[in-house]
Amino acid sequence: MTTLREINERCSALYEDLNFGYAREWKAAKPGRKVVGHMPFYVPREIIHAGGGLPLGIFGGGDQLEVIHGDAYYQSYICRIPRSTIELAVTKRLDFVDGMLFPSICDVVRNLSGMWKVMFPNVYAKYFDVPQNYRDDIGGTFYINELNELREGLGKLAGRRISDDEIRASIVLFNENRRLVREVYAFRAAQPWKAPAADVYLLMRAGMTLAVEEHNRMLREYLDAADKADARKRDNCRIVVTGAFCEQPPLNLVKSIELSGCYIVDDDFLLVNRWEQSDVAVEGDPLANLAHAYLHNSAHTAAKYEDTEKEKGMWLVDSVRKNRAEGVIFACPSFCDPALLERPMLQRVLAEHKIPFVAFKYAENSGQMQPIREQAGTFADSIKLWSVQ
């Protein structure tokens, strides 16, 4: 049986490997294999997989990458993730990547898709648009056609047409992945002392690199091992972290929140692995099924339009309730338009529901954690001391 320590070590190694050795080996193992990178927050990984490709989440360079070239492409008032992504590319750390998908998350990532076309003209680079209209006959039709266009593009990369049956088979595998991810989240919410936030983060992050079949095995092993863990329950408060769905916080920040007395019982660090909140239907037209799941059964984040004010932020209130959280930490990257424009609206909703919150900003390469510990620690203390029981 694989131990928690072994799983953590494997996940850490994958996280720290900015040369993406696993993906390189995966590609080299069989001629014709393709690796398709994607940025946060969501792409239909099923279609990449169905074409025999490996979806590879590119979530910036974190705090381990010294950004030299990337800074020459961005002004100081642009967030960190595009510059470290450029750094990864110009230093040839992504030279094995055959395609890159840029989801519709913000103007910076949108423009990065065009930069990719200019800088790496031999790489299939696609801005991947998603509907902001949620009617099946309007946004749904648009999205099915966009998915078809993506299927054709990835099919050209694969050198063959990607069939409906192949996509259905991939949906089955990714449904399993999402089920297991939800199980890990539920496990952590129930017994957060047995599933430290940093470990869960690394486990999820591994899923951005590993083949889905391998990640599914790893998730099962983790659930088995974590359940048997002998960990001491601390007198921490329970919080939800939100705002970190694109540029990722440094791992030390995740650890610092927990060390300062907060159990993270839900977060939005890597949404792509639980974007669809229940199984995507397998029978029938697979693209229509993916579209239906996107429109009616997907997570909420700032990149999505909320078409009624009444529903605004209710997903966050629901998460607090479902996970028995006592407060919310807004951890947003500096200069992140979606997260920072969204924040006051979410804060208003939390205030209306009398849910305490605190906010701070970070960059993926933030090194100084003392202010974070102080803020999160004070927040935890205030919840413990002053919240109405």
At closest approach, how far in Å is the CB of 107 from other proteins? 4
Counting contacts by CB under 8 A, is residue 19 touching other proteins? no
Q: Which is nearer to other proteins, 73 or 187 (CB)?
A: 73
**How buried is 273 (Cβ within 10 angstroms: 0-12 exposed, 13-18 middle, 19+ buried)?**
buried
φ/ψ (deg, to 5) at 194: -90, -15
Q: Examine residue 131 and tell whether it contacts other proteins (CB under 8 A).
A: yes
Query: Looking at 124-132, 254-262, 372-380, 381-389, which segment touches other proteins (CB under 8 A)?
Result: 124-132
Q: How many CB atoms lie within 10 A of CB 353?
A: 13
Q: Give the x-and-dash track for 321-350 against other proteins (CB under 8 A).
A: -----------x-xxxxx-xxxxxx-xx--
Site residues (CB under 8 A) for other proteins, limited to 142-171: 142, 145-146, 149
Q: Does 139 bind other proteins (CB under 8 A)?
A: yes
Q: Which of 305, 368, 386, 389 binds other proteins (CB under 8 A)?
A: 305
H/E/C letters for each residue in 290-334? HHHHHHHCECCCCCCCCCCHHHCCHHHHHHHHHCCCCEEEEEEEC
> What is the SS3 assignment for 370?
helix
Stretch that binds other proteins, among 72-80, 193-201, 272-280, 380-388 (CB under 8 A): 72-80
- Taking the C-alpha atoms of residue 51 and residue 198, their distance in angstroms, rounded to an integer, is 33
Is 112 an interacting residue with respect to other proteins (CB under 8 A)? Answer: yes
CA distance to 40, 145, 229, 244, 303, per residue, from 129 (Å):
13, 11, 43, 21, 11
Question: Residue 108 contacts by C-beta under 8 Å, 6 or more apart in sequence?
Answer: 78, 79, 81, 82, 337
Tokens of 274: 């639980």
Q: Is 187 in the site for other proteins (CB under 8 A)?
A: no
Residue 141 in the binding site for other proteins (CB under 8 A): yes
Is residue 386 part of the contact set for other proteins (CB under 8 A)?
Answer: no
Rounded to an integer, what distance in angstroms lies between the CA atom of residue 293 and that of residue 356? 32
* Residue 3 DSSP class: -
Q: Which region among 88-96, 133-141, 163-171, 279-287 touches other proteins (by CB under 8 A)?
A: 133-141
Cβ-Cβ contacts under 8 Å for 3 (sequence gap 6 or more): 225
Contacting range for other proteins; rule: CB under 8 A; set: 13-21, 60-68, 279-287, 302-310: 302-310
The two structure tokens encoding residue 84: 């470290």
Assign residue 232 a region (left: φ > 0; alpha: ψ between -120 and 50; beta: otherwise).
Answer: beta
Residue 142 or 187 having the CB closest to other proteins? 142
Would you say 116 or 269 has its CB closer to other proteins? Answer: 116
Query: Can you tell me which of 18, 90, 115, 186 binds other proteins, judged by CB under 8 A?
Result: 115
Q: Indicate whether 298 belongs to the interface with other proteins (CB under 8 A).
A: no
Binding site for other proteins (CB under 8 A): 72-75, 77-78, 82, 102, 104, 106-108, 110-115, 117-119, 126-129, 131-133, 135, 137-139, 141-142, 145-146, 149, 302-303, 305-307, 309, 312, 332, 334-338, 340-345, 347-348, 361
